[in-house]
Structure formats: structure tokens, C-alpha cells
Amino acid sequence: MNTGFLTIYWRDMIRFFRFKTLLISSLVQPALWMAFFGIAMSANFNRLTSEIPSIPGVPSVDYLTYMAAGVIAMTTLFTSLFGGIVLLFDKNWGLMREIFASPLPRNHIIFGIALSGMTKTFIQAFIIMVFAIFLGAAFFAGFTAAETILSIFGILLFVGVFSLGFLFLSAAISISLESPEGLQGIITLLTMPIFFASNALYPIDAFPPVLQAISIVNPLSHLVSGIRYFAIGDNFQAIGIHYTATSMDIAFSFLLLILFAALMFALAWWRFRKATVT
Amino acid sequence: MTGTIIEVEGLYHHYGDVAAVNGISFSVIEGEIFSFLGPNGAGKSTAINILITLLRIQQGMATVAGYNVQTDPQKVRNSIGIVFQDVTLDRDMTCREILEFHGRLYRMPSAERKQRIDELLTLVQLDAKRDVRTKHLSGGMKRRLEIARGLMTRPKVLFLDEPTIGLDPQTRMRMWDYIKAVNEEGTTIFLTTHYMDEADHLSDRISIIDHGRIIVTGTPYELKNTLGEDLIYLETDDLPGTRAALLAMDQVKELNEKSRGIVAMLNGDGTKILPQIIENLAGRRIRVNVANLKKPSMDDVFLHFTGRELRDEGAEKASSAVIRAGRR
């Protein structure tokens, strides 16, 4: 088997751990989201929803626990969308010529970058989980040790497949563009609707129909559903809304993320075959 | 065993309406140093990018190390090493990592990779910089590291695109020594340059290229000899008389009039012919005010064949900027 993608992965990991400011900021930033946005919003939401009568017999979770899943998803989204930017820099600084003139098959460049991006999202997801629990999020409440490990595995599986999709997209955009500013613009344009038309920070039940339709096909919503299923459970209430999920629902979400990743890979592959670097 | 290692036949390459490479054919002999000499924008880099498989062939045929660049690019890639025109080193990787990355890209086995890295760092005298990030290297060191990288996979042909651009004179001379040493170990070298002295000093054969066409090919000696063996510049008090006198001499091949004097291209050794000329002119009562004897340089050759001075892009841009500024 050609393991050329590991070469790309190896180099990107060297760079990740070498730039200490980048490394530390990428690890601290999601924790800060939890610490500031999470605590502030959960104080508000808990006050607002304290009047709502709780549904009897359904375990209730507070807002911090509810949004922690959203923060994991959001961080994964941002990191993945920016994960391909190294390709744009490599192209602009001429480094891509060495790779394109080598025998390495081009799809291995995509795989290598996607793998390193996925590794980064795993590290971040793990840190957020630990920090969220430290702040008081009721993740894995009442789970046995075996169930907890299985759930973490499930979360990483969802995070991994989701990040692959957006890393492929990021690679496709990066290899097609000339300027980092352009990439920045496109990514900002993409993150707004993806992030806010999702169930990451609030329920989608009260959305107008169009927004609701968007959020239902939004991969981010499916990632968040997956994380909540594994971290909180298949039957809980938060902010006055009753959440249930069958394993079929979760399998469907997972398949949707796989489909999205496959489509984005096809897009990236097409862009890479078209790309000329001189 | 010597044969051709690069064969190019009828190569064209267009960017939109502009023909960057306009029908060139040439071959490179195994083991030689072959140069493309030409100004910026002559089509050198486009030609090299086609040969190293970064640009797809639009028209024509090219083989490198026996493989067709269009149908067998993978095998071509495995047979060549490249030093690109601009520095293409990751600033934040160490010298060792740069070579390690390259070896991995070409799927060299780990043991061979390690051994080769040690050998090459010694060859280019960067042993002491092994674990230093490339951003801390000088320009010459960066270039040497890139040459080491180009040699990592023991290529049959090493492509060097403007290898000494932006280096100081001492560093350039040392680069030339490295390039010669590498060639002596058996690697064929394909070089592009717009420095006349570089092409002259290094090459076994040179193709002068301009406007996407090869104008002339030959050894540096042959090219310079097409202008005659030596050149003599004279200023006298009677230029028409001098002209007539020189044309009557067998040793004079061709004359070229300048504003204040005459350049004579000679058939023989100028050191012997110059006294004869002065004697001849004295016999005609023509006084020689200035005499200068020189060997033809590649500059003269280039001027002769292209009819223009080598200019670099920077100078052109600077002058047009001055014109624009003047118009304001």
C-alpha cells in the first residue's frame, strides 16, 4: 500500500507542534468559548427556562451541558475549514511544486492534510470535553466506565467524519484560490449560515420553516445530534424541549456525514486534478 | 555509454495568445552540463516546467531518461531532481527534515534515506546546520540545501532553474564548484540561466534561447568562435582608411563599426595580429589612438545572435516605472 499521505501528515504535524503560539491558541480558544460564552449564556438560559414546567419522568440537563456539544462541533467546523489553508501557502510560496513534481499521487496530498486536520480536531474535542466537565457539564452522567469509553469513541467517530468533509472542502477551495484573503472571505461566508442555522447553541424547533429546512440538511446539526446522543443520552430535556433519538436516527446522521465527506472528497479530487502549479 | 538523455521535438507552449515556447527541438547528451541561456521571459522556465512534468504538453514530444513526459510522467518524476527558480524551502523545517520529507515523497527506504541525508549534508557542507531551521540559513546555504535535495534520490538528470540568481559573486563561484562536482559524479545537468558567464563557465553545450525559440546551439568555444577567435577595437584618426586597410587583411574576418572606432573580428591569435595591424596602418600613415584586444565573451555572442542586450525583467520594470513617474 502506498503510504505517501503519511509524509504529508508528518510534515503538517511537525508544523502544528512547532508553532507554539498557534498550538496553544488553538487549544485555549475553545476552552475560552466554554468559559465565557458558555457560563454567561447558561446563566441567562437557566433563568429564562426556570419558569417552564419540566416534563415529568425525563432527565433534565442544564444549558452548559447542552451547548458544550455545540462548542465541540463549532470548533471542529472552524479548525476543519481552515485546515486546508496550508495548501494555499504551499502553493504561493512554491513549496507545492516540489510535491507536484514528485511521484506522490495527488489524492495523497488531500488524504494527508485531511488526516492531520482530523488529528487536530480530535485533540481539541478532547480538551473541550475535559474542560466542559471541569466547568460542570453533565457529560456521561450515570454512564459506566465502559459506556463512557464507548461514548467518547462515538463522539470522535462523528467528529472525525465531519471534519473530513470540511477538510476536503477546505483543500478544494485552497488549491483553487490565489490569495489567503480570498480563502478567509469564503470561509467566513460559509461559517455564518452553517453555524447559526444549526442546533449547536439553541433548539431549531422555533425556527421559521426555511431556516429549519437548512438546519436539517446542515451537517453541523447532525454532528451536534451525534455528540449529544453519545455525551448526554437518547432521552433528555433541555431548555424546555424534549430530545429523543433512536439509534436509527443517529445512524442516519452518521451516514449523512459520510455522504457529505464523500461528496467533498470528489470535489477536492476534481480540483486537484485540474490544478497546475508552476 | 553515452547517448541522449533528453529528447525534445517540436515543442510549443501557449499561454492564451502568447507563445512562451515556440517550436523548439534539442537533445541533451548523457553526462553533460547543458544550458539554456536567455533573458527572462525567453521561455526557459516554461520549457523546464514541461520537462519536469509540472506543465502538460500542448504540442510536441519530449522524453526524459527514456520516458515520455506525457505518457509516463511518473517514471520521469522518479528519474529527475529539480532545483526550482525561487527558493522553495519550508522556513520552519530543519535541513534534515527538508531532505527527509523529500526522500519520503519519493518513497526511499528509511535506511537509505538516513545514509543519503548524511552523505549529502557533507557534500554541500551543511553538516553543522543539520538541525537548524531553513529560515536561519544564508542565501547560499539555502541553495546548497536545495541542490542536496535535488540529489536526494540519485536522479539521472538534475534540473537547475537559475541556480545562482540573487547570490553574491563568491557564493556563485562556490555553487559552480558544487555543480561541477555533482556532474563529475555522473549526473547529467540541465541548467537555465541568464548569466552569460555562468553558461560559459559551466556548460558543455549551450542553447541560446529567445522569444521561445532556440537561436543557436554549440559548445561555449564554438559559439564564441563563430565571432572569430579574438576581437580588436581600434580608434584612429582616419576611420574610412582604417576600414579599407583592415578589409584588405586576410586575418580579419568581419568588421563592425562603432561610433568612434571599429571592431575587427579576427581569424587568428589577436596578440600576434594586433602588431601587424598597427604596422600596416602606420604604413598608410594612419595613427592608432586606442587599441583594445579581447576574447569574445558570451555577451558578444548573445548580442551577435539576438541583436539585443540581455536585460532582466527588474531593469525593464524599473525603467517603465520611471517613464510612468515622468508622465505624471
ipTM of the complex: 0.87
Q: What is the pLDDT of residue A168?
A: 97
Question: Model confidence at A179, in pLDDT bands (50, 70, 90)?
Answer: confident
B67, B105, B145: best mutation site toward chain A, by most A Cβ within 10 Å?
B105
pLDDT of B215 > 50? The answer is yes
- Please give the grid coordinates belonging to residue B77: 518524476
- Tell whether B54 lies on the interface with A, counting CB pairs under 8 A: yes
Q: What is the pLDDT of residue B64?
A: 95
- Please give the grid coordinates belonging to residue A216: 436539517
pLDDT of B263 > 90? The answer is no
pLDDT digits (tens, 9 = 90+) for B102-113: 999 999 999 999
* A90 Cα to chain B: minimum distance (Å): 8
Tell me how far the alpha carbon of residue A37 is from its chain's centroid. 18
- Tell whether A86 lies on the interface with B, counting CB pairs under 8 A: no
- Residues B309-325 have a mean pLDDT of 41
Whether residue B88 and residue A102 make contact (CB cut-off 8 A), yes or no, is no
How many residues appear in chain B?
A: 328
Burial status of residue A97 (CB atoms within 10 A of its CB: 0-12, 13-18, 19 or more): buried
* A177 Cα to chain B: minimum distance (Å): 18
Q: What is the pLDDT of residue B309?
A: 52
> Is the Cβ–Cβ distance between B215 and B184 less than 8 Å?
no
Residues of A within 8 A of B147 (CB-CB) are none
Nearest Cβ partner for B74 among A19, A93, A103:
A103
Q: What is the pLDDT of residue B316?
A: 41
Q: What is the pLDDT of residue A230?
A: 94
- Residues B237-258 have a mean pLDDT of 86
Q: Is B216 helix (H, G, I), strand (E, B) or coil?
A: strand
Q: What is the mean pLDDT of chain A?
A: 90
pLDDT of B323 > 60? The answer is no
Which of B224, B286, B278, B225 is closest to B249 using CA atoms? B278
Question: How far is A45 from A62, CA to CA, in rounded Å?
Answer: 9
Q: If you search the block for the grid coordinates 548524511, which residue do you land on?
A: B118
pLDDT digits (tens, 9 = 90+) for A121-162: 999 999 889 989 998 888 898 889 999 999 999 999 999 999
Q: What is the pLDDT of residue B252?
A: 86
- Domain segments of chain B: what residues? 4-224, 228-295
- Residues B150-165 have a mean pLDDT of 89
pLDDT of B314 > 50? The answer is no
Q: Name the more confident of A203 and A267.
A: A267
Residues 259-278 of A with CB under 8 A from B: 276-278
Burial status of residue B225 (CB atoms within 10 A of its CB: 0-12, 13-18, 19 or more): middle
CATH class name, domain B4-224: alpha beta
Which of B27, B52, B28 is closest to B188 using CA atoms? B28
- Tell whether A104 lies on the interface with B, counting CB pairs under 8 A: yes
Question: Model confidence at B16, in pLDDT bands (50, 70, 90)?
Answer: confident
pLDDT of A222 > 90? The answer is yes
Question: How far is A197 from A207, CA to CA, in rounded Å?
Answer: 9
* Segment among A17-26, B59-68, B149-158, B179-188 with least mean pLDDT: A17-26
- In percent, how much of chain B has pLDDT > 70? 92
Q: What is the pLDDT of residue A99?
A: 93
Q: What is the pLDDT of residue B2?
A: 64
Which stretches does DSSP call E strand in B175-328?
Answer: 188-193, 205-210, 213-218, 231-236, 252-257, 262-266, 288-294
* Segment among A14-18, A100-104, A178-182, B165-169 with least mean pLDDT: B165-169
Question: Model confidence at A1, in pLDDT bands (50, 70, 90)?
Answer: low
Q: If you search the block for the grid coordinates 561610433, which residue do you land on?
A: B259
pLDDT of A270 > 60? The answer is yes
Question: How far is B131 from B262, CA to CA, in rounded Å?
Answer: 59
Q: What is the pLDDT of residue B295?
A: 80
Q: What is the pLDDT of residue B317?
A: 38
pLDDT of B321 > 70? The answer is no
* A196 Cα to chain B: minimum distance (Å): 37
The β-bridge partners of B109 are none
Whether residue A276 and residue B97 make contact (CB cut-off 8 A), yes or no, is no
Q: What is the pLDDT of residue B49?
A: 92
3-state helix, strand and coil shares in percent for chain A, rounded to the nearest 5: 75, 5, 20
CA distances from B4 to B30, B189, B209, B256 (A): 5, 12, 20, 38
- In percent, how much of chain A has pLDDT > 70? 100
Nearest Cβ partner for B86 among A2, A94, A104:
A94
Q: What is the pLDDT of residue B133?
A: 95
pLDDT digits (tens, 9 = 90+) for B26-53: 999 999 999 999 888 888 889 999 999 9
Q: What is the pLDDT of residue B308?
A: 60
pLDDT of B247 > 70? The answer is yes
Which stretches does DSSP call E strand in chain A?
Answer: 235-238, 241-244
pLDDT digits (tens, 9 = 90+) for B46-84: 999 999 999 999 999 999 999 999 999 999 999 999 999
Tell me how far the alpha carbon of residue B99 is from its chain's centroid. 26
Residues 116-135 of B with CB under 8 A from A: none
**What is the full DSSP assignment across B22-36?**
EEEEEEEETT-EEEE
> Is the Cβ–Cβ distance between B205 and B217 less than 8 Å?
yes
- Domain segments of chain A: what residues? 5-274
Whether residue A101 and residue B78 make contact (CB cut-off 8 A), yes or no, is no
Question: How far is B219 from A65, CA to CA, in rounded Å?
Answer: 78
pLDDT digits (tens, 9 = 90+) for A72-95: 999 999 999 999 999 999 998 889
Superfamily designation of domain B228-295: ACT domain (3.30.70.260)
Q: Name the more confident of A240 and A198.
A: A198
Q: What is the pLDDT of residue A88?
A: 92
Question: How far is B104 from B129, CA to CA, in rounded Å?
Answer: 21
pLDDT of B164 > 90? The answer is no
